[in-house]
Amino acid sequence: MPTSSEIRARAWASLSGNWTTAVLHFLLYYVIIFVLGLFSLIPVVGWLLIILVTGALSYGLYNFYLSFSRNRIPETEELFSGFQRFVPTFVLYILIAIFTFLWSLLLIIPGIIAMLRYSQAYYILRDNPQIGGLEALNRSKAMMAGHKGRLFVLVLTFFGWYLLGIITLGIGFLWIVPYFYTALGHFHTDLSNRFASLPLPPNPYTGINA
């Protein structure tokens, strides 16, 4: 299996020659998030708006940079593709928020494990348009079995990069965040390829693959 450094190298190679597209689209996403933050100042209505659109925006962000990991330059509308699947992305966001919160009540570590367990759900939802949010969540749990530590280490390797972003007063994040999400895309691409190649578990009643 590829190491974290190998995944980061793949992400860097995917963004080579495409940094302008990657950075400008993250800037656009950041502006949208900033504007939504202003709406949060409006009691009730503002927070309701944020809850309604966060799932769709998260879906778009994850999958925009997933395209780079698959050797394809995404179009701007892909950043907003979650709104075309508003209901399943909203349901998925709510489920992840609820389950992660409940696990976090047991202390920080269970909450982190839950986040890692559900980390592939938006990608799975993109690749399987026929399923809903709950099914995407369940498939993510299955896919991440035995791989949560790998993803955790990958995330930790970006710690220095995020410190650099802070030192540059946030300007560096325009490059760091696309790099990070493209690396996550490569992690998922590698993981999904391995998961798809695994045989189905034997049927306990017939003894053969179902």
Which tens digits make up the pLDDT trace of 4-14?
999 999 999 99
Q: Once rounded to an integer, what is the mean pLDDT over residues 56-67?
A: 95
Q: Which of 130, 147, 105 is nearest to 2 (CA)?
A: 147
Flag whether 206 is in a domain.
no
- The reported pLDDT for the residue numbered 209 is 35
- Please indicate, yes or no, if residue 42 is contained in any of the structural domains: yes
Query: Which residue range(s) make up the domain with 136?
Result: 4-194
Residue 8 forms part of a structural domain: yes
Q: Residue 182: inside a domain, yes or no? A: yes
The answer to whether the Cα torsion of 177, 105, 149, 143 is positive or negative is negative
- The mean pLDDT of the chain is 88
**Is there a domain that residue 32 lies in?**
yes
Residue 135 lies in a domain: yes
Residue 197 has a pLDDT of 58
Count how many domains the chain has: 1
List pLDDT tens digits, range 164-178. Answer: 999 999 899 999 999
Q: Is 174 exposed, middle or buried (0-12, 13-18, 19+ CB in 10 A)?
A: middle
Q: Residue 51 phi/psi, 5° resolution?
A: -60, -40
What does pTM read for this prediction? 0.86
202 within domain boundaries: no
Other residues' Cβ atoms within 10 Å of the Cβ of residue 101: 11
Q: Is residue 205 part of a domain?
A: no
Per-residue pLDDT of 66-97, as tens digits, reads 999 998 999 999 999 999 999 999 999 999 99
Answer whether residue 206 shows pLDDT above 60. Answer: no
* Model pLDDT for residues 104-151, shown as the tens digit of each residue: 888 888 889 999 999 999 999 999 989 999 999 999 999 999 899 999
